[in-house]
């Protein structure tokens, strides 16, 4: 199938012997020699219009001659095609050409691959650690790195900023001053560090430091069985934990070839949309708090509290729900689920209405947000943006419509798009999306809960019901095997994706058939978005930088994993 692609045929002609096609994979995959990788990738960008670098990561195979794979995931907006490019490199010549000058999104992704695997990127402007601290020794995601080995950060090693794009000093009224904001600063959401060079109050250049919440999700996932990774995914984007659960479980289910029962799909869709509402509530609420509009924060949190009460009823916890299991849900949905949803559908719209009246046309909010840190759609794509922030820049791209999964093609909803690309439009997109999500939930609730089981009855994956375990030998054996050995996923790899609250949430999972995942790479939607931050706030004031950060909805757990 892939061979019919003209793009593949051309690549074969141009790079004979240097590029290979991998078979039996979820999306077309090319294995490319590192000597031509950059040339080929820039061809793909220019000729084949692969205008977005979705993800870049490393994978370690210690037994192989060429130990590391550098994996690129590309997406083309014009054709809607996806492509995976793998560039194997050996341990002693651990170097590939940087693609920062093709896709700006590569900047931080390459730094991450360097940090985690020690892969060097030739031509990268500032290849230094990004997630771990400066006193760290070694590369933690290499298979031979002990997961528990810690290093202390000494004070004299703490990073001092380097300003790469500092314009020459002209005769300005103001003397230049460098200030540090964060990481422990409420406007930096507690975990980001911004170092800015100011002229008066205007930021002429800045440097951003992240990694203060790097909790080693990917290494932890490698040391836990498949089902036990689910609670870790909760803590990626903790504002909408359920969406992460689904994204992970869906990817593994696709690897296993499981077909979910209708009830599981229905429940997942309802809860995902409610989680999306919760996420947008936190984002808009905190952004408005940053400009001093505190009242609506209470309104937004009232919405969250109401949705929490539903989640508590379903899963027993409020924030980190761990709702999904690979293969469906852990429990059945509560019997009054529909009534609770109807209650939510009654009380959320008036609250949204109130917030709308308070803020959307509020003069102070307009003055603070319109035209602030605007970015064009084309540039945003080059930086790797997805989700509400991209839609605020006029690009209609939503995986629920573009590549529908579950039943999103069967429900009626719109994709709100705004064209300003500024903080105000990011706010408006989110407000509009809350209403669209409510529309989806309403349709699903009207449809009613489908009958049938809440999970697959494949006992290689899901535990059999307790009464069967107690009464049947075979079920007991399944139970025993699952608890002690864990489930097995057939060897292979998959890039699973869905529309998270912040944009495309991708899970690149490699399995070697053992009880633990071999490698899980999360494509966090806010990682490429936040890498744009320095560019966005240039020539803006410090106060603008603060609301820009709020409007981008950067969630540290997901950004730094």
Partner 1 sequence: MVKENELTSPSWITSKLEVIEKWARSRSFWPLPFGTACCAIEYMGVVSSHYDVARFGYEVVRFSPRQSDLLIVAGTITDKMAPVLRKIYEQMPDPKWVISMGACASSGGFYRAYHVVQGIDEIIPVDVYVPGCPPSPEGLIFGILQLKELIKRGRDRYSRKAEVSDG
Q: Write out the DSSP string of 202-266.
A: EEEEEEEE--TT---HHHHHHTS-TGGGHHHHHTTSGGGHHHHHHHHHHHHHHHHT----HHHHH
Does residue 248 belong to the site contacting partner 1 (CB under 8 A)? no
Give, as ranges, the residues between 218 and 237 that touch partner 1 (CB under 8 A): 219-220, 231-232, 234-235
CB atoms within 10 A of CB 82: 18
Q: By CB under 8 A, which span of 20-28, 132-140, 327-335, 388-396 interacts with partner 1? A: 132-140
* Residue 416 interacts with partner 1 (CB under 8 A): yes or no: no
276: which 2 tokens? Answer: 């999306």
Of 260-268, 302-310, 401-409, 535-543, the window that binds partner 1 (rule: CB under 8 A) is 302-310
- Binding span for partner 1 by CB under 8 A among 36-44, 252-260, 300-308, 345-353: 300-308
**212 touches partner 1 (CB under 8 A):** yes
Based on the shown chain and the rule CB under 8 A, indicate whether residue 400 belongs to the binding site for partner 1: no
Q: How many other β-carbons are positioned within 10 Å of the β-carbon of residue 150?
A: 7
Pairing assessment for the beta strands 120-122 and 95-97 based on DSSP bridges: parallel
Nearer to partner 1, 282 or 455 (CB): 282
Residue number with CB closer to partner 1 (72 or 232):
232
Q: Which residue, 76 or 312, has its beta carbon nearer to partner 1?
A: 312
Site pattern 312..351 for partner 1 (x: CB under 8 A): ------xxx-------------------------------
Sign of the C-alpha dihedral, residues 27, 382, 233, 277?
negative
Beta strand pairing status for 29-32 and 82-89? parallel
Considering the rule CB under 8 A, would residue 148 count as an interface residue with partner 1? yes
CB of 351 to partner 1, least distance (A): 12
Residue 183 phi, psi (nearest 5): -75, -25
Q: Are 66 and 93 in contact (CB under 8 A)?
A: no
Site for partner 1 in 62-101 (CB under 8 A): none
Nearer to partner 1, 40 or 239 (CB): 239
Q: How far is the CB of 241 from partner 1 (least distance, A)?
A: 8
Dihedral over Cα of 398, 221, 321, 352: its sign:
negative
Identify the residue among 27, 153, 345, 468 touching partner 1 (CB under 8 A).
Answer: 153
- Provide, rounded to whole angstroms, the least separation between the CB of residue 353 and partner 1: 18
| Three-state SS at 537 | helix
The answer to whether 552 and 290 have CB atoms below 8 angstroms apart is no
The terminus-to-terminus CA distance of the chain in angstroms comes to 36
Q: Which stretch binds partner 1 (CB under 8 A): 128-136, 252-260, 441-449, 516-524?
A: 128-136
Out of 61, 77, 238, 405, which residue is the one contacting partner 1 (CB under 8 A)? 238
Give the SS3 label for residue 347.
Answer: helix
Stretch that binds partner 1, among 14-22, 149-157, 360-368, 492-500 (CB under 8 A): 149-157
Of 147, 200, 350, 513, which lies in the binding site for partner 1, with binding defined by CB under 8 A? 147
Say whether residue 403 binds partner 1 (CB under 8 A). Answer: no
**Is 276 near partner 1 (CB under 8 A)?**
no
* 143 scored as a contact of partner 1 (CB under 8 A): no
The DSSP secondary-structure symbol of 66 reads S
Q: Which residues contact 214 (CB under 8 A, 6 or more apart)?
A: 131, 132, 560, 561
Query: Cα separation of 175 and 317, whole Å?
Result: 52
145 is a contact residue toward partner 1 (CB under 8 A): yes
With CB under 8 A as the contact rule, the residue among 90, 95, 151, 339 that binds partner 1 is 151
| Continuous segment of H or E residues that includes residue 70 | strand 68-75
- Integer Cα distance of 80 and 51 in angstroms: 10
Q: How many angstroms separate the CA atoms of 502 and 496, rounded?
A: 16
Shortest Å distance, C-beta 3 to partner 1? 43
Asked if 451 and 263 touch (Cβ cutoff 8 Å), the reply is yes
DSSP string computed for 392-446: TTT----HHHHS--TTTTTS-------S--SHHHHHHHHHHHHHHHHHHHHHHHH
**C-beta of 157: minimal distance to partner 1 in Å?**
10
The answer to whether residue 150 forms part of the interface with partner 1 (CB under 8 A) is yes
CA 249 to chain centre: 15
Q: How far is the CB of 190 from partner 1 (least distance, A)?
A: 5
Distance between CA atoms of 200 and 225, rounded to whole angstroms?
A: 54
Give me the least distance between CB of 385 and partner 1, in Å please. 24
429 binds partner 1 (CB under 8 A): no
**Binding flag, residue 302, partner 1 (CB under 8 A):** yes
Residue 534: how many CA atoms within 13 Å on its side-chain side? 23
Query: The tokens of 474 are what?
Result: 């075979």
The count of chain residues that interact with partner 1, using the rule CB under 8 A, is 50
Answer yes or no whether residue 180 interacts with partner 1 by CB under 8 A: no
Q: Does 144 bind partner 1 (CB under 8 A)?
A: no
Residue among 359 and 445 whose Cβ is closer to partner 1: 359
Rule CB under 8 A: is residue 161 a binding residue for partner 1?
Answer: no
Greatest alpha-carbon span in the chain = 85
CB of 489 to partner 1, least distance (A): 22
Tell me which DSSP letter residue 453 carries: -
117 forms part of the interface with partner 1 (CB under 8 A): no
CB of 347 to partner 1, least distance (A): 13
Cis peptide before 351 (omega within 30 of 0): no
Distance CA 265, CA 324 (A): 11
Does the protein bind partner 1 through residue 304 (CB under 8 A)?
yes
Q: Which of 58, 211, 261, 500 binds partner 1 (CB under 8 A)?
A: 211
Binding stretches for partner 1 (CB under 8 A): 131-133, 135-136, 140, 145-153, 155, 158, 183-186, 190-191, 211-216, 219-220, 231-232, 234-235, 238-239, 282, 297-298, 301-302, 304-305, 308, 318-320, 556-557
């Amino acid at each position: 199938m892939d061979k019919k692609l003209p793009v593949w045929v051309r690549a074969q002609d141009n790079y004979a012997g240097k590029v290979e096609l991998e078979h039996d994979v979820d999306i077309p995959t090319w294995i490319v020699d590192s000597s031509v990788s950059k040339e080929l990738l820039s061809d793909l960008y220019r000729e084949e219009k692969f205008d977005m670098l979705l993800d870049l990561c490393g994978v370690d195979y210690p037994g192989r001659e060429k130990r590391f794979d550098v994996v690129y995931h590309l997406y083309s907006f014009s054709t809607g095609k996806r492509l995976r490019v793998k560039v194997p490199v050996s341990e002693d010549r651990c170097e590939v050409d940087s693609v920062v000058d093709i896709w700006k999104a590569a900047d931080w992704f390459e730094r991450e691959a360097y940090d985690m695997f020690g892969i060097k990127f030739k031509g990268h402007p500032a290849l230094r650690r990004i997630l771990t601290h400066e006193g760290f020794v070694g590369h933690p995601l290499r298979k031979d790195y002990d997961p528990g080995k810690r290093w202390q950060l000494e004070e004299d090693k703490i990073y001092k900023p380097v300003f790469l794009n500092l314009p020459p000093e002209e005769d300005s009224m103001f003397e230049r001053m460098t200030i540090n904001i964060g990481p422990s600063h409420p406007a930096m959401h507690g975990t980001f560090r911004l170092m800015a060079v100011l002229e008066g109050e205007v930021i002429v250049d800045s440097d951003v430091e992240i990694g203060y919440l790097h909790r080693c999700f990917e290494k932890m996932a490698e040391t836990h069985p498949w089902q036990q990774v689910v609670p870790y995914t909760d803590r990626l984007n903790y504002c909408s934990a359920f969406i992460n659960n689904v994204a992970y479980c869906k990817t593994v289910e696709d690897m296993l070839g499981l077909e979910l029962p209708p009830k599981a799909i229905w429940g997942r869709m309802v809860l995902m949309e409610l989680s999306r509402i919760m996420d947008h509530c936190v984002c808009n609420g905190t952004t408005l708090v940053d400009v001093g509009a505190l009242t609506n924060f209470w309104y937004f949190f009232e919405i969250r509290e109401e949705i929490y009460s539903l989640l508590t009823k379903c899963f027993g916890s409020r924030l980190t729900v761990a709702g999904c299991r690979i293969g469906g849900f852990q429990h059945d949905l509560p019997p009054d689920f529909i009534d609770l949803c109807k209650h939510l559908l009654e009380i959320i719209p008036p609250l949204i209405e109130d917030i709308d009246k308070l803020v959307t046309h509020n003069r102070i909010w307009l003055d603070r947000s319109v035209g602030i840190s605007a970015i064009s759609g084309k540039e945003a794509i080059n930086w790797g943006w997805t989700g509400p922030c991209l839609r605020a820049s006029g690009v209609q791209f939503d995986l629920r419509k573009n590549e529908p999964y579950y039943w999103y093609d069967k429900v009626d909803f719109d994709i709100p798009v705004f064209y300003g690309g500024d903080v105000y439009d990011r706010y408006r997109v989110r407000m509009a999306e809350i209403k669209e999500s409510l529309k989806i939930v309403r349709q699903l609730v009207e449809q009613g809960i489908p009958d049938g089981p809440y999970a697959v009855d494949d006992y290689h994956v899901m535990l059999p019901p307790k009464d069967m375990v107690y009464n049947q030998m075979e079920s007991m054996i399944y139970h025993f095997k699952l608890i002690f050995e864990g489930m097995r996923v057939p060897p292979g790899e998959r890039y699973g994706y869905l529309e998270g609250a912040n944009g495309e949430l991708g899970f690149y999972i490699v399995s070697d058939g053992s009880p633990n995942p071999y490698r899980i790479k999360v494509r966090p939607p806010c990682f490429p978005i936040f890498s744009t931050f320095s560019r966005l706030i240039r020539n803006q004031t410090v106060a603008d930088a603060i609301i820009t950060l709020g409007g981008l909805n950067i969630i540290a757990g997901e950004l730094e994993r």
